[in-house]
């Protein structure tokens, strides 16, 4: 067998009585970077408009982050009910998020809702810019958080794609291979595909987003991510519900891609914001 990407031999670290799951650490690290970059970008917005926006992102994150995690978990449970409600399922497994299982669309939907409610409450007393500016500030950081979070799937040896025999293929131990794939040793590293694309898209948004009307950066984020997620979903072989020949997440990707592009195009007729981030 030619060289390939190995799967880590451990997915958790024990320090004394404490156990740290690497999936959870990847999620936490990604959230921290998203908050840091979002805060930096929003403060740059504020500096351009003579506003002090220090700490706004971290304050909103107190509500938005838990809401996003809950939304992501709910989406995963609803779209994979057999794992929890089937004959071999376990309701208690719903709480074990360190084993993986956070649906990005649920995380974005409930996270944005939590952020909106928190931001609107703060805006009344602090004179904050439009919520669309806030979303634009956060979008690149969210993408980087997604990139880092995908490495949690690598540590858990999950969500890989079809068999692949090339130097960038992912080697999967026998015990993690799905039924019917026991004789195959290497697979598409879909975690890496998504991590590379989300990092590249974050870079593009930082570079070009300042030229667009408020809200457009976030719209391109959801559209750009959805476009690639559609194809990645087509490569994956983990259990998923199909609808008219496509996985449910592929249909979601199509719908959100169309929505993101439509909102972006409609937005370009508006006046560009007078404040924009330098990063």
pLDDT number for residue 224:
98
pLDDT tens per residue across span 222-274: 999 999 999 999 999 998 888 899 999 999 999 999 999 999 999 987 666 54
How is the chain split into domains, by residue range?
A: 13-267
pLDDT number for residue 277:
59
pLDDT number for residue 274:
47
- With tokens 């979601």, the residue in question is 252
pLDDT number for residue 241:
84
Digit-by-digit pLDDT tens for the chain (279 residues) are 468 999 999 999 988 888 889 999 999 999 999 999 999 999 998 888 788 899 999 999 999 999 999 999 999 888 877 778 766 667 777 887 777 778 898 999 999 999 999 999 998 888 899 999 999 999 999 999 999 999 999 999 999 999 999 999 999 999 999 999 999 999 999 999 999 999 999 999 999 998 899 999 999 999 999 999 999 999 999 988 888 999 999 999 999 999 999 999 999 876 665 455 556
Provide the percentage of residues in the chain whose pLDDT is more than 70.
94
8 A C-beta contact, residue 224 and residue 253:
no
The 3 state secondary structure assigned to 201-256 is: HHHHHHHHHHHCCCCHHHHHHHHHHHHHHHHHHHHECCCCCEECCEEHHHHHHHHH
Bridge partners (DSSP) listed for residue 247: 242
What's the pTM? Answer: 0.91
Angstrom distance (rounded) from CA 15 to CA 30: 22
């Amino acid at each position: 067998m030619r060289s390939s990407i190995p799967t880590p031999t451990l997915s958790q670290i024990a320090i004394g009585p404490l156990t740290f799951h690497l999936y959870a650490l990847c999620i936490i690290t990604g959230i921290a970077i998203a908050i840091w970059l979002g805060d930096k970008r929003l403060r740059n917005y504020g500096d351009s408009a003579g506003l002090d926006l220090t700490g706004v992102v971290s304050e909103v994150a107190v509500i938005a982050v838990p809401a996003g995690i809950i939304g992501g978990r709910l989406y995963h449970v609803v779209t994979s009910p057999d794992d929890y409600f089937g004959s071999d399922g376990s309701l208690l497994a719903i709480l074990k998020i360190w084993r993986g299982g956070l649906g990005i669309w649920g995380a974005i939907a409930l996270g944005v809702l939590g952020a909106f409610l928190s931001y609107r409450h703060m805006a009344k007393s602090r004179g904050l810019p439009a919520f669309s500016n806030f979303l634009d500030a956060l979008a690149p950081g969210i993408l980087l958080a997604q990139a880092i979070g995908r490495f949690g799937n690598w540590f858990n040896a999950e969500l890989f794609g079809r068999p692949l025999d090339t130097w960038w293929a992912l080697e999967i131990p026998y015990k993690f291979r799905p039924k019917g794939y026991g004789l195959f040793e290497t697979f598409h590293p879909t975690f890496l595909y998504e991590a590379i694309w989300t990092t590249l898209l974050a870079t593009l948004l930082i570079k070009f987003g300042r030229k667009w009307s408020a809200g457009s950066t976030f719209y391109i984020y959801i559209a750009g991510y959805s476009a690639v997620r559609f194809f990645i979903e087509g490569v994956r072989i983990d259990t998923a519900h199909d609808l008219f020949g496509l996985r449910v997440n592929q249909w979601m990707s199509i719908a959100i891609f169309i929505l993101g592009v439509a909102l972006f195009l409609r937005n370009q007729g508006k006046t560009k914001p007078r404040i924009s981030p330098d990063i």
